[in-house]
Amino acid sequence: MYPHDAACLCSTCVLEHTQGLSPLEVLDAIRQREQDLIARIGWVAHALADRPLIHTHGLWERFHHLDLEIRLAVSPEKRYALLAPVAEAVTNGQRFAAGDEDHTLFSVPIRFIARDESERQVLRVVFPDPQGYFPDDSHCPPIWAEQVLQDF
């Protein structure tokens, strides 16, 4: 059912191979785990393997705050490490909106832009490149400028 290779470590493959679950049982187990995480901490993250994306679910339902998204060509682990502090700030009462710039969460400023993702609006967190250029600056390298692309 899933086009993954034998070495894949995604949740689907791990559950399928280590617990011998059917594809439908895997999906049910993942949904239940996500519901448990949202109930316990307020959000869950999904990293997409085929795109440089990670996004949250649960922030709207638990905190009435748009879910967050990062589009950056770094490892899924690094994207999570960048997303988690922003999501945690939301769970602690901080609010962000499209057009905001925040200087408190990281050693560099971050910006927020509105994006549509799978029929819902999210806030995309945008980071400057290592020289401090944001995608709207003419000196920003193309790989960093791609953070603002609309994917869905």
- Taking only Cα atoms into account, the Rg of the chain, rounded to an integer number of angstroms, comes to 17
Asked if residue 42 lies in contact with residue 62, where contact means CB atoms within 8 angstroms, the answer is yes
Q: Is the pTM of this model over 0.85?
A: no
Q: What value does the mean pLDDT take over residues 77-96?
A: 96
Cα(62)–Cα(4) distance, integer angstroms? 33
Q: What is the mean pLDDT of the chain?
A: 86
Cα(13)–Cα(24) distance, integer angstroms? 12
User: Does position 53 have pLDDT exceeding 60, yes or no?
Assistant: yes
Residue with the larger pLDDT of the pair 84 and 75: 84
